[in-house]
Structure 1
Amino acid sequence: MQVLVRDNNVDQALRVLKKKMQREGVFREMKRRAAYEKPSEQRVREKADAIRRARKLARKQAQREGLIAAPKPKVMKPRPGVAAAPR
């Protein structure tokens, strides 16, 4: 995993790196491997994860087919004290 540091701005690069690691599930994996997990607990966790994925897939499919309403889009509010930079 790589992050480019622009203008010696290490803080911004760290934020980007953390966000990438969060998306990839690195923190979840580290937490899971921190302690021993019994095989029975592993089976229960994996089954719950599979159920969660199947429900999410079914929900997205139903939204595409129009059977259930899609979630409302989030409105991005400007953060106080941060000026929008022109692009």
Structure 2
Amino acid sequence: MVEKLLALKAGGFYFIGKEGERTSLEVKVYGNDVEKAIKILKRQIQKEGLLKEIKTRSFYEKPSVKEKRKRREARVKRMKASRFKRRG
């Protein structure tokens, strides 16, 4: 499944997002500092939510399970937002 979502392109990576659009992730390597470039790429992948998407798409998820997961995620998001409001 990873091969379908993530493909190597000259100068960076791209993945097929929702509705078939291509989203490009590009990292330039300066001074042969590959370790730093990998860290930046990992951060970009995490920010885009690619790893989470790969995980959810790797197996079939029944519509009822998908709905429950989305409800749970929304509840957690609401709780975090309310916690932030109380603190701020």
Give TM-score scaled by structure 1 length. Answer: 0.68
Partner in structure 1 of residue 54 of structure 2? 30
Dislocated runs of 4+, deviation >4 Å = none
Superposed CA deviations along residues 51-86 of structure 1, whole A, max 9, x for unmatched, are 01100110000011xxxxxxxxxxxxxxxxxxxxxx
User: CA separation in 1, counterparts of 2:74 and 2:48?
Assistant: 18
Query: Cα offset for 1:15?
Result: 1.4
Map residues 62-81 of structure 1 onto 2, 5 A cutoff: 62-64=86-88
User: CA separation in 1, counterparts of 2:81 and 2:36?
Assistant: 34
RMSD of Structure 2 on Structure 1 (CA): 1.0
> Residue 59 of structure 2 aligns to which amino acid in structure 1?
A
Query: Cα offset for 1:14?
Result: 1.0
- Picking from 26, 41, 65, the partner of 2:65 is 41
Overall identity of the aligned pairs, in %: 34
Partner in structure 2 of residue 50 of structure 1? 74
5+ long unaligned stretches in structure 1: 65-87
**Matched position secondary structure for 1:50:** helix
**Matched position secondary structure for 1:42:** helix
Higher strand share: 2
Pair 1:13-2:40 in alignment: no
> Residue 70 of structure 2 aligns to which amino acid in structure 1?
E
Higher helix share: 2
5+ long unaligned stretches in structure 2: 1-24
Query: Cα offset for 1:27?
Result: 0.6
Q: Which has the higher contact order (CA 8 A, sep 6+)?
A: 2
Give TM-score scaled by structure 2 length. Answer: 0.68
> Residue 72 of structure 2 aligns to which amino acid in structure 1?
A
